[in-house]
Amino acid sequence: MTSTDYDVTIIGAGPSGTVAACLLMQHGLSVCLVERDQFPRFSIGESLLPQSMEFLSKANMLDTLLDNADTLGFQFKNGAAFYRSGHHTNFNFEEKFSDGPGTTYQVKRAEFDHLLAQEAIKQGAQILFGQQVTNFKSGKNASYLSVVDLKTKQESTISAKFTLDGSGFGRVLPRLLGLEETSELTPRKAVFTHFKDNIENSQFDRNKILITVHPTMPDVWYWAIPFSDSTISVGVVGETAQITRADQTLEQTLLDFINADDNLSALLTDAQIIAPVRTIGGYSANVKALHGDKFALLGNAGEFLDPVFSSGVTIALKSAVQASDLVVKQLQGEAVDWQVQYEEPLREGIEVFKYFVNSWYDTSLQSVIFFADGQPDVKAMVCSILAGYAWDKSNPFVKNTERGLKILEQICESGNNDSVA
């Protein structure tokens, strides 16, 4: 085979890229990650799901997370709390149906991503920060990245036997190769920031993400993600027209939405904004294919759904585990069918999450979440998906998500206690 600079190049040094790098290096492969930004840098996606811990463990990165969580203000997380117009309900991830970890962390992504990048370097990866990929091409025996140094403007070419795109919302290869497709999800927008929360309510469970439904617009919701240093990430999500306030600053818009909900406004009575108020819109995305000649797309570079169930990092890490395994096999000379062995199984779990997202916004899943307490077995199955186990086909709500949720919705609406399992 033609000599290359590296066995594998990875675009982006976020969670999917660094986990893939560490998995590949376990097999003696040389890996170079090309990252546009300098770390630490801001990113959204702060509430991890327990399934992610299994993937971090595979990459020998879990210990570094556990060792540094307290120092970096990461918050232990064991579930999700929901609130809607006076009605509270909780899902304890340790009571889920699926096997696997039941706890995780809520993380500040600047520090979390930096931590994983440092660990990847310790394990042997090279990371080129401040480098932008401007072109990609594949030859008979290699893939080639054209790269420009954003500081010196110097251009270079890096060759590898295979390339993974973990560029997240940058979506480098989909943009360069014309792979982007419009998402079938409704375009939405988020407005968010960090507060010093000053929450003294003893009933507030910092070990859970709090998801709140707007009191009059059921397809608008808020996240509240506490950290262990008494700070909290708060955002509101809705369709662009619902969230946009042309006559207001982003800060005024966010505060107005918070004040519209009785529970959230009470919790944040003494809170103080400590970071810029930001907005992101049009984040849902899809692609024509998750793979091509000598490349594959990881995580958000392929498909991003919606922040409502915090599935982004879990999908990213799942894709890193699957793709790295296939890259190893292919570079060892095995025949690999990327469609059958990567895209189709990865999309199965994505479709489960997608159905949950759509059902949340049409409020049918909200009915299940707020009225499933009388169905402990079924609640455990739903809890597994909320915990990230969207690929566990032993779960009836994974195997047939649409049918299961429709039956459960009918049970919750009627108050019937029959089991659907």
Q: Tokens for 376, please give them.
A: 């402990």
- Residue 212 — left, alpha, or beta (φ > 0 → left; ψ -120 to 50 → alpha)? beta
Strand partners, 127: 33
Same domain, 378 and 243: no
Same domain, 122 and 163: yes
Same domain, 326 and 405: no
Q: 10 Å Cβ neighbour count for 178?
A: 9
Final residue in a domain of this structure, among 349, 372, 390: 349
Same domain, 302 and 371: no
Same domain, 44 and 56: yes
- The confidence score (pLDDT) of residue 375 equals 75
Asked if residue 253 is part of any domain, the answer here is yes
- Cβ neighbours for 203, distance < 8 A, ≥ 6 positions apart: none
Asked if residue 294 is part of any domain, the answer here is yes
Same domain, 230 and 254: yes
Asked if residue 90 is part of any domain, the answer here is no
- The confidence score (pLDDT) of residue 2 equals 56
- Give all strands (DSSP E) within 197-269, no chain letters: 208-213, 221-226, 231-239
- The confidence score (pLDDT) of residue 415 equals 55
Q: Kindly list the averaged pLDDT for each block of 10 residues, start to end, along the chain of length 421.
A: 84 98 98 97 93 98 98 98 95 96 97 98 98 96 96 97 95 94 86 96 95 97 97 96 91 97 97 96 84 96 85 96 98 97 96 92 90 79 95 91 80 54 41
C-alpha–C-alpha distance, residues 25 and 27, integer Å:
5
Same domain, 55 and 110: yes
- The CATH number assigned to the domain holding 260 equals 3.30.9.100
| Whole-number Cα distances in Å, 213 to 85, 238, 356, 395 | 8, 11, 15, 27
Asked if residue 67 is part of any domain, the answer here is yes
Asked if residue 94 is part of any domain, the answer here is no
* Helix, strand, coil percentages, rounded to 5, for the chain: 40, 25, 35
Same domain, 382 and 267: no
Whether 222 and 81 have beta carbons less than 8 Å apart is answered as no
Same domain, 384 and 299: no
Whether 225 and 232 have beta carbons less than 8 Å apart is answered as yes
Asked if residue 84 is part of any domain, the answer here is no
Number of domains in the chain: 3
C-alpha–C-alpha distance, residues 315 and 307, integer Å:
12
- Cβ neighbours for 65, distance < 8 A, ≥ 6 positions apart: 56, 74, 105, 112, 115
Same domain, 32 and 154: yes
What's the domain range around 118?
6-76+100-182+284-349
C-alpha–C-alpha distance, residues 382 and 110, integer Å:
30
DSSP code of 76?
A: E
Work out whether strand 143-149 and strand 155-165 pair parallel, antiparallel, or are unpaired. Answer: antiparallel
- The CATH number assigned to the domain holding 162 equals 3.50.50.60
Whether 163 and 294 have beta carbons less than 8 Å apart is answered as yes
Asked if residue 71 is part of any domain, the answer here is yes
Whether 81 and 201 have beta carbons less than 8 Å apart is answered as no
C-alpha–C-alpha distance, residues 389 and 348, integer Å:
12
Asked if residue 95 is part of any domain, the answer here is no
Same domain, 305 and 169: yes
DSSP code of 186?
A: P
Instruction: Find, among 406, 372, 304, the residue nearest to 97 by Cα.
Output: 372
Same domain, 14 and 106: yes
